[in-house]
Amino acid sequence: MTLLTTEEYKAIAAGLTFPTNAFIDGHFRPAISGRTFDTLNPATGEVLAKVAACGPEDVDLAVAKARDAFEDGRWSRLHPKERKETLIRLAKLVKRNARELAVLESLDSGKTIYDCELVDVPETINCLTWHAELIDKIYDQVAPASDNHIAMILREPVGVVGLVLPWNFPLLMLAWKIGPALAAGCSVIVKPAEETPLTTLRMAELAMEAGIPPGVFNVVPGTGPEVGEPIGRHMDIDAVSFTGSTETGRRFLRYAAESNLKEVTLEMGGKNPAVVLDDAENLDRVAAHIVNGAFWNMGENCSASSRLIVQKGVKEALLKRIVAHAREWPVGDPLDPVNRVGALVSKAHYEKVCSYLEKGPKVILGGKAERGFVEPTILEVSRDSRQAREEIFGPVLSVLTVDSFDEAIALANSTEYGLAASIFTGNVKRALRGARAIRAGTVTVNSFGEGDISTPFGGFKASGFGGRDNGIHAHDQYTQVKTIWVDLADDVDEAVY
């Protein structure tokens, strides 16, 4: 896709009409209480729109409509081919409205238009299309049994699902969840993050236009206590898929335990290591990967390379190249396609990230922050410092030095998290040994990344629980496995087994 000029993007922004109401049973409607909340442009602080501030009563209504839709089979029992065609129509509508969605996402989240245009929206389309195409390609099974029996193993939609989204990739994380959930035949209740509700509400319009039946795709905006917790505790929601902080993820486990023991899938935080050994090849390329991993999306990324663990022999040469590459990531107006670092999502989050820039660690690069923007920052830190241990979720790279391969792997694992990691080495045996030894859900070798739509994404330890996003494995979150045992025997003696 060819990027436009800043002026062209601002012209698109000026012409946007913002969706503001909840979407329940195929219709937009205000919150039952009539209350609203402001959604802000993080780059300017201006109010973009007043969005329906839903509460428990809105959740109850959405769940009732979702349950009706699921039970009468308007989607759950629709032929797989028809569900596939509907989701492909949705993907095509997203493509047709891609530029509008990219601008809307940038305005609401502070993300750069560069990323929204070139990463988020294209990957959203890819995700929806991939799961749509998978619908009629996942086969059920027949288990080995005696000659007098047939044992069928079926995958059935789990039912009504709560999908609770983060604010860092609002549109893409929506696709990660509705793609497999709708493909499986579930009805969904989506709670967008309070900071970034607009693209999810716009997607509801597109879903209706694509032909997804009323009650199947519902969006209930609001706060965690007023919407998130009621979803987590609801007795008629069968499963919840949550992406967000580890602290909030723990709450969803409690909500499930204290209600109907609904299934819970959690994709949470990370303190992800990038291990660079002294035999790493092409340090310039290594540096480019480190910078991308640390500063992409302003570091507001659960899989961000936030810890550089570098072997002493290569440290000086690598840091020189990292600093050079980091200077190529301009900070500023998110609608200027030149900029690679936009505004942090909210004032509260900006202040949190700024707290890690206080005096203490040695500043190798950056360290400055102003009015919601934090420049790419590289700090040399001690192993017991906050910067080395805590998830910052901002454009801050913490550098730690080691003497050996074993020390590097031990340090990589010395965290409560286990989402993603990278290892850079020219020795294939060390690469594979290291990748096996690092306790993380995704380990990349000689690159930064998360795999792609075909590979499962999720974490170990405090980074994840209960399932995976992406790949065929994502469908496991939204299906139940059922055994149907058929007795073919003609008399009692033959039926004994």
Backbone torsion region of residue 371, taken as left when φ is above 0, otherwise alpha when ψ lies between -120 and 50, otherwise beta: left
Q: Which of 241, 177, 227, 251 is nearest to 63 (CA)?
A: 227
Q: CA torsion sign, 482 to 84 to 454 to 238?
A: negative
Provide the pLDDT for residue 359. 82
Report how far residue 177's alpha carbon sits from residue 326's, in angstroms, rounded to the nearest whole number.
Answer: 33
pTM beyond cutoff 0.85: yes
pLDDT tens figures, 215-265: 999 999 999 999 999 999 999 999 999 999 999 999 999 999 999 999 999
Contacts of 461 (CB under 8 A, 6+ apart): 416, 417, 418, 439
Q: Which of 158, 69, 251, 219 is nearest to 467 (CA)?
A: 158
Residue 442 bridge partners (DSSP): 420
Pull the structure tokens for residue 197.
């509700």
Report the interhelical angle of 170-184 vs 121-134 (nearest 10°). Answer: 10
Contact in structure between 19 and 28 (CB atoms under 8 Å): yes
Q: Which residues are catalytic?
A: 267, 302
> Could you count the other beta carbons within 10 Å of the beta carbon of residue 274?
25
Report how far residue 192's alpha carbon sits from residue 222's, in angstroms, rounded to the nearest whole number.
Answer: 8
**Tens-digit pLDDT profile for the chain (497 aa)?**
789 999 999 999 999 999 999 999 999 999 999 999 999 999 999 999 999 999 999 999 999 999 999 999 999 999 999 999 999 999 999 999 999 999 999 999 999 999 999 999 999 999 999 999 999 999 999 999 999 999 999 999 999 999 999 999 999 999 999 999 999 999 999 999 999 999 999 999 999 999 999 999 999 999 999 999 999 999 999 999 999 999 999 999 999 999 999 999 999 999 999 999 999 999 999 999 999 999 999 999 999 999 999 999 999 999 999 999 999 999 999 999 999 999 999 999 999 999 999 888 999 999 999 999 999 999 999 999 999 999 999 999 999 999 999 999 999 999 999 999 999 999 999 999 999 999 999 999 999 999 999 999 999 999 998 999 999 999 999 999 999 999 999 876 655 55
The single residue listed with the structure tokens 């990344």 is 449
Task: Give the H/E segment covering residue 318.
Answer: helix 312-326
Contacts of 5 (CB under 8 A, 6+ apart): 337
Contact in structure between 448 and 305 (CB atoms under 8 Å): yes
Buried b (16+ CB within 10 A) or exposed e, 285-323: ebbbbbbbbbbbbbbbbbbbbbbbbbbeebbebbbebbb
**Residue 319 φ then ψ, to 5°:** -60, -35
SS3 265: strand
Q: CA torsion sign, 448 to 452 to 455 to 458?
A: positive
